[in-house]
Amino acid sequence: MVALIPLLHRLLSLPKLIRRFDSPSTPTKSDYRKWRRLNRIVRGILRNTLRRDYCLTYSLILFYYCRKWGYPTRIFVGARKNGKELDGHAWVLIDGHPVPGLTPPDGAYVPFMVYPTP
């Protein structure tokens, strides 16, 4: 997935890319150990392979697996002004909980895309 996501991002629009990683979910018990473990593993892999600018890949991997495992998961894409340029960021909320190492501080980015919509 780490290699596939950047390639697909070049070929697909952002909404199509996110829908491609949506997964039918089966409701699960609220055991957060599973997604927290996945979070640590994915963050470690991405730090050592991509090193920077990996928030979309990181978010899509968590989004895909957490939706597949039945966690109520939403993906956000936002922007902020940084001098004369715009910075973008992607993050997920899992059952309303921010993901350590990925979720920005409140108000840091203005979301322009949320999937699935509330």
105 secondary structure, DSSP code: P
Q: How far apart are the first and last CA of the chain?
A: 27
Domain range list for the chain = 4-115
Give the tokens for residue 11: 């070929």
User: What's the predicted TM-score (pTM) here?
Assistant: 0.85
**Residue pLDDT tens, the chain, 118 long:** 877 888 888 899 999 999 998 987 776 666 778 888 888 998 888 888 877 788 999 999 999 999 988 888 999 999 999 889 999 999 999 888 888 888 888 889 999 999 998 7
96 secondary structure, DSSP code: T
Cβ burial, residue 68 (10 Å; 0-12/13-18/19+): middle
Distance between CA atoms of residues 11 and 95, nearest Å: 30
